[in-house]
Structure 1
Amino acid sequence: MTVPMSSGAASRRRLRVVRGRSRPRGGSRRSNTAPRPFGGWITPWLYLAPALVVLGGLLAYPVYQLGLISLFHFTQAQVSGGEPTTFKGFGNYAELFADDQFWQVLLATLLFAAACVVSTLAVGCALAVLLTRVRAVPRLALMLAGLGAWATPAVTGSTVWLFLFDADFGPVNRVLGLGDHAWTYGRYSAFFLVLLEVVWCSFPFVMVTVYAGIRAVPAEVLEAAALDGASQWRIWRSVLAPMLRPILVVVTIQSVIWDFKIFTQIYVMTGGGGIAGQNLVLNVYAYQKAFASSQYSLGAAIGVVMLLILLSVTLVYLRLLRRQGEEL
């Protein structure tokens, strides 16, 4: 007499049969990953070799020379051959760190760069969102105006902004009713004037990059957030910003590098660092030490310190993002 088999037992029996057929006859399981061909790991490096050679010549060698000069006593006397070059080790760094002006300039540079980065990101992201809300003609006009500001040389842009805020002929003082107010005489007003020029020539990069990222976001996601009653700020904070985080990482790091090593705007608009050096930043400070005072080794030491600070800030920022689970 045949005993009927329940549906659960039948399904388990079919599952065992399928599992048994999937194994090879030898009893060993085969790996699904195919072996990599010999030399496969070196192929990408061969493609990158020309670029690495160019970067090595244009970047690695100057950095090596900068670090080497910072370890010697190197002034105009050594350049002209009147005195021999002497090795100081970290003596230039000890002299630099013992200078109170260096720490004042470093603090001013960090605060000014942070203000420039935050302002540039805020203006660029706001205008990128605005580009998605206006029609084609205003969008094209705004894009052309932004690209025109971005393409303007720093010297030209700084000169134009100096004219706009000039105490005698500038239209800004007349519109605001400030009379003959001199913006470049005060420390904070001079920094504010330079900040406006830096943001003006830097926000187009953020605007165009973020706008391209927003256009890549599916429209259904934004429509669903709007139907749920989210405001424009909430959509940006909860929807767009998390999806655009890899792009925001790139523009933030670029802005930090550009604004931390700013030179032209400060040098042109404040006359080389302002009255009694009140508007000095590290790049202008290094220029004064190296070329105005002919202390090339101290200028090189400032350059090395700037390089280490930028590398540290970038690595810390990327490490924090990796801890949050971001793929970069």
Structure 2
Amino acid sequence: MRVGGGFPRPRGGSRRSGTAPRPRTGRSRTPWLYLAPALVVLGGLLAYPIYQLGLISVFHYTQAQVSGGEPTTFEGFGNYAELFGDGQFWEVLLATVLFAAACVVSTLAAGCALAVLLTRVRAVPRLALMLAALGAWATPAITGSTVWLFLFDADFGPVNRVLGLGDHSWTYGRFSAFFLVLLEVVWCSFPFVMVTVYAGIRAVPSEVLEAAALDGASQGRIWRSVLAPMLRPILVVVTIQSVIWDFKVFTQIYVMTGGGGIAGQNLVLNVYAYQKAFASSQYSLGAAIGVVMLVLLLAVTLVYLRLLRRQGEEL
């Protein structure tokens, strides 16, 4: 029996009753150990090419330097100054931004609408739609572009015959050519959005949707007020993916417009860089365009993620 006041000491003589336990650093490093092999592979596949791209962009590098006829000279930001001083570059940049924005909005609209449709149809139509969409997604870009060119061909295309347009050429006008390419880009891109959003919708508790329907909400109101906020992290992923893919479209433009259209009216940055690097043998200018595209995509992605974090979204 204790006579003195105070609380008994814990066994072992420890006095650290008021201090918090030390965090275990080994457990926090475990995920990085699992990610290390993938990070090494990605670093080798991405870091070195980006380094070479930036290196070539600050040198005077043409066919003469490739063949060894002339030495390579350091230009610093001279290639970027020449690029930014070219009026055609700014025209192509504006066309690329507008075209990519139209592709992203159209792809997200088509993918989300079909994802909602998948939740409304029975199993057999759902399976048929999924297989058709995945077939479009698996089709190589050059094959899909060739098929779309045939469908809209001025002489033999079935689209002109059905619409009664005669020998109308879709690739002759600037806006009609961009519209034709946009259709092909959306056709081969919407399945990714559709499948991803459909998986997210299936993960939403059915009680939430039933409660919204019982309250008298329409399908559009359910999407805006219930599904879209709950699917926001998924929509962020598909939006960023679509921005990256559509901003650097190359194959569809090159194949369907014959390398950029008449007098370069359908050029985008990727095709413009290809023409500068390989058609004109100005490899340093082509590399500078590639660096500009990389910086723009990183900036758009970081700004978008930052805005979402300010809204309290966990990514």
TM-score interval (norm. to shorter): over 0.9
1:103-152 C-alpha deviation (Å, 9 max, x unpaired): 00000000000000000000000000000000000000000000000000
Q: CA deviation at 1:33?
A: 9.2
Which whole-Å CA distance do the structure 2 matches of 1:315 and 1:295 have between them? 31
Q: CA 1:276 to 1:34, structure 2 compared with 1: closer, same or farther past 3 Å?
A: same
Q: CA 1:279 to 1:219, structure 2 compared with 1: closer, same or farther past 3 Å?
A: same
Q: CA deviation at 1:46?
A: 2.1
Which whole-Å CA distance do the structure 1 matches of 2:4 and 2:270 have between them? 71
Which whole-Å CA distance do the structure 1 matches of 2:288 and 2:17 have between them? 55
Which whole-Å CA distance do the structure 1 matches of 2:123 and 2:151 have between them? 31
Q: CA 1:33 to 1:179, structure 2 compared with 1: closer, same or farther past 3 Å?
A: farther
Which whole-Å CA distance do the structure 2 matches of 1:19 and 1:52 have between them? 60
Which whole-Å CA distance do the structure 1 matches of 2:2 and 2:45 have between them? 64
Q: What TM-score results when the alignment is normalised by the length of structure 1?
A: 0.89
Q: CA 1:23 to 1:218, structure 2 compared with 1: closer, same or farther past 3 Å?
A: farther
Q: CA 1:59 to 1:229, structure 2 compared with 1: closer, same or farther past 3 Å?
A: same
Q: CA 1:28 to 1:288, structure 2 compared with 1: closer, same or farther past 3 Å?
A: same
Which whole-Å CA distance do the structure 2 matches of 1:235 and 1:102 have between them? 44
Q: CA 1:72 to 1:221, structure 2 compared with 1: closer, same or farther past 3 Å?
A: same
1:203-222 C-alpha deviation (Å, 9 max, x unpaired): 00000000000000000000
Which whole-Å CA distance do the structure 2 matches of 1:264 and 1:21 have between them? 78
What SS class does the counterpart of residue 7 from structure 2 fall into? Answer: helix
1:260-311 C-alpha deviation (Å, 9 max, x unpaired): 0000000000000000000000000000000000000000000000000000
Q: CA deviation at 1:45?
A: 2.3
Which whole-Å CA distance do the structure 1 matches of 2:116 and 2:144 have between them? 26
Identity of matched residues, %: 92
What SS class does the counterpart of residue 28 from structure 1 fall into? Answer: coil
Which whole-Å CA distance do the structure 2 matches of 1:19 and 1:214 have between them? 63
1:155-185 C-alpha deviation (Å, 9 max, x unpaired): 0000000000000000000000100000000
Q: CA deviation at 1:56?
A: 1.1
Unaligned 5+ residue runs, structure 2?
Answer: 24-29
Q: CA deviation at 1:92?
A: 0.1
Q: Does 1:29 align with 2:29?
A: no
Q: CA deviation at 1:22?
A: 13
Q: CA 1:142 to 1:16, structure 2 compared with 1: closer, same or farther past 3 Å?
A: farther
Q: CA deviation at 1:225?
A: 0.1
What SS class does the counterpart of residue 19 from structure 1 fall into? Answer: coil
Rg larger in structure: 1
Q: CA deviation at 1:44?
A: 2.6
Match of 1:72 in 2: 59
Which whole-Å CA distance do the structure 1 matches of 2:127 and 2:17 have between them? 55
Q: CA deviation at 1:69?
A: 0.3
Q: CA 1:219 to 1:78, structure 2 compared with 1: closer, same or farther past 3 Å?
A: same
Q: CA 1:296 to 1:25, structure 2 compared with 1: closer, same or farther past 3 Å?
A: same
Q: CA deviation at 1:26?
A: 13
Q: CA 1:118 to 1:24, structure 2 compared with 1: closer, same or farther past 3 Å?
A: farther
Structural RMSD (CA): 3.2
Which whole-Å CA distance do the structure 2 matches of 1:54 and 1:320 have between them? 30
Unaligned 5+ residue runs, structure 1?
Answer: 1-14, 38-42
- Alignment equivalent of 1:275, drawn from 243, 254, 262: 262
1:2-61 C-alpha deviation (Å, 9 max, x unpaired): xxxxxxxxxxxxx99999999989999977997456xxxxx3322222111111110000
- Alignment size in residue pairs: 309
Match of 1:132 in 2: 119
Which whole-Å CA distance do the structure 1 matches of 2:203 and 2:148 have between them? 35
